[in-house]
Structure 1
Amino acid sequence: MPAPKVLPAKANALDAIFGVRKPVVGVIHLRPLPGAPRYDGEAMSDIFAAAIADAKTLATGGVDGIMIENAGDLPFARPEDIGPESVAGLTAACMAVRGAVDTPIGITFVANGAIPGLAVAKAVGARWVRVNQWANAYVANEGLLNGAAPQAMRYRSQIGARDVAIFADVHVKFGAHAITSDRSISEQATDAEWFDADVLIATGARTGSPTSRKEVDEVREGTNLPVIVGSGLSPDQVPALFATADGAIVGQWLKVDGVWWNPVDPRRVEALMSAVKTMRG
């Protein structure tokens, strides 16, 4: 069944950013930044060096985009509690990566930091931000999180960042979906499109957990936007998921031993991109 036409068609953001079929975005999970509970005083230059090393491995391996995430800042602050030190740290890390590779970059500012993420993206020339809870509400590990879209879209206009695309999760991992349990995933996909996201993400239950083909299909049923896989993609899953998905974000699987805080493994990047190139034809 075709997706409902909730809004006039918009340009395909994946085509505009990456210019290839089925783009793959590799993730850099930053070490803890100043202000985070696990930050132990590590020199910022060492944090940047680790991020640059991962970026070069991803770029050399042929990924189409790189997403930078403050993954080490556990436990994550609620959006209203994200401090200037976190914004400064992520901005500086993104600038270090931008100076090392030509690959398009994007940002995830957890937890659900849509507005800080847009500020960083504008400052560093990032092409997109990933927002885990874009529409409706969700019982996350950080508590009740409201959809960020109304405030974030107004902020994006205010700072002149309309060229920064919104990659929005539809059925976000972690926590509980009790608030929207009476509404299907496809209906929630329609909500995210209605609230002006550019790309929708179908994801697994936790970091690195596989995304099911069923979930990708359900998201696609509710939208005319591009739909990408947001978690757990490995080479053996590429044929099934890329038969329907328009691309993927891959983090944990690309790391040494498949552990998210380890460095990126060049052999894993090569294996995944080989499978993707086969799907591209």
Structure 2
Amino acid sequence: MSKRFSEIFVTPKPILGMLHLTGSSAEERLEIARKETETLIANGVDGVIVENYFGDKDDVRSVLEWLETLNPDVLVGLNVLRDHHLAFELAKQFRVDFIQMDSVAGHLPPDEDMDFAAELAELRGSVSSVLFGGVRFKYQPVKSGRSEPEDLTIGKERCDAIVVTSDATGQVTDLDKVRRFRATTGSNFPLLIGAGLTAANAREQLLEADGAIVGSYFKDTYADTGIVDGAHVAELMSVVEGLRGESAAAAMRVEA
């Protein structure tokens, strides 16, 4: 397992709840994010990701300011859609344990990719945050001219964990794709499910992957437009805790 990843994520199979920043005003978006964070943490989620999915960059900053007041055991992540430069700037100003970028390899043609790689390396070096990188991620183009394994191998060099999805928000991540990614990344490099995790599929998905980012399933409507529902969080986390217990028991048997 990546050293930087394991230093931050000490709990096996970490589950990270997405804050989509829904609401009709800045005040309402902050209040909903506060309540959703409290619900997620109270029901066992390991951390939250602040994302400008519905809100804007000012909302992201407001939520990060509030998260600064919480117990540092609550892991804080950040994904600034369409502006990863701002994500790294905010990581210098606030406690941001990890940054998510929807694509670190495969989305650019070769002549642009070299400049992107150099810039990303410089940005990574400017912060202590772990970087989650998407490869063949939902809504991202494929312009590299490389094969999937080639993009994954390059992606591993550019981040601390790979995030895998299918084609859309809330869509179950294709298990064959997860297994292909695992075959290329190897068992010692973190691989995270980035969409579509549910209580029904969490066991089979997390037997292949090292953790997950969850948004839609935690909502009262099971859609990204909803509000986090504690019962949904508790249901999925019960499955995850069972899997963690099995893994711990298996490890003890091996040590014995």
Q: 1:71: which partner in 2?
A: 53
- Following TM superposition, by how much is the alpha carbon of 1:22 offset from its aligned partner in structure 2, in angstroms? 0.6
- Greater Cα shift, 55-64 or 166-175: 166-175
- Following TM superposition, by how much is the alpha carbon of 1:151 offset from its aligned partner in structure 2, in angstroms? 1.4
Q: 2:221: which partner in 1?
A: 257
TM-score by length of 1: 0.78
Q: 1:17: which partner in 2?
A: 8
- Greater Cα shift, 125-134 or 95-104: 95-104
Match of 2:121 among 153, 157, 166: 153
**Residue 201 of structure 2: SS of its match in structure 1?**
helix
Match of 2:150 among 187, 193, 196: 187
**Residue 221 of structure 2: SS of its match in structure 1?**
helix
Distance in 2 between the 1:172 and 1:222 partners? 16
**CA offsets, 1:48-81, max 9 Å, x none?**
11110000000001001111100015xxxxxxxx
Verify: 1:30 aligned to 2:21, yes or no.
yes
Distance in 2 between the 1:201 and 1:268 partners? 23
Specify the code of the residue in structure 1 equivalent to 2:119.
Q
Q: 2:254: which partner in 1?
A: none
Distance in 1 between the 2:152 and 2:162 partners? 7
Q: 1:76: which partner in 2?
A: none
Match of 2:84 among 99, 107, 114: 114
Match of 1:198 among 160, 181, 195: 160
- Following TM superposition, by how much is the alpha carbon of 1:93 offset from its aligned partner in structure 2, in angstroms? 1.6
- CA 1:20/1:176 → structure 2, altered by over 3 Å: closer, same or farther? same
Q: 1:99: which partner in 2?
A: 69
Residues 229, 247 of structure 1: 8 Å contact kept: yes
Residues 75, 97 of structure 2: 8 Å contact kept: yes
- What is the number of residues matched between the two proteins? 239
**Residue 225 of structure 2: SS of its match in structure 1?**
coil
**Residue 234 of structure 2: SS of its match in structure 1?**
helix
- CA 1:53/1:146 → structure 2, altered by over 3 Å: closer, same or farther? farther
More helix, by proportion: 2
Distance in 2 between the 1:121 and 1:110 partners? 15
- CA 1:175/1:164 → structure 2, altered by over 3 Å: closer, same or farther? closer
Residues 2, 190 of structure 2: 8 Å contact kept: no
**CA offsets, 1:196-252, max 9 Å, x none?**
310001112100100122111111222242101000000111121111100000001
Residues 18, 65 of structure 1: 8 Å contact kept: no
**CA offsets, 1:143-191, max 9 Å, x none?**
xx9685431321343xx41x111100111102543x24x6433222101
- CA 1:264/1:138 → structure 2, altered by over 3 Å: closer, same or farther? farther
Residues 4, 130 of structure 2: 8 Å contact kept: no
- Following TM superposition, by how much is the alpha carbon of 1:192 offset from its aligned partner in structure 2, in angstroms? 0.4
Cα RMSD of the aligned pairs, angstroms, is 2.2
Q: 1:268: which partner in 2?
A: 232
TM-score by length of 2: 0.85
Residues 133, 155 of structure 2: 8 Å contact kept: yes
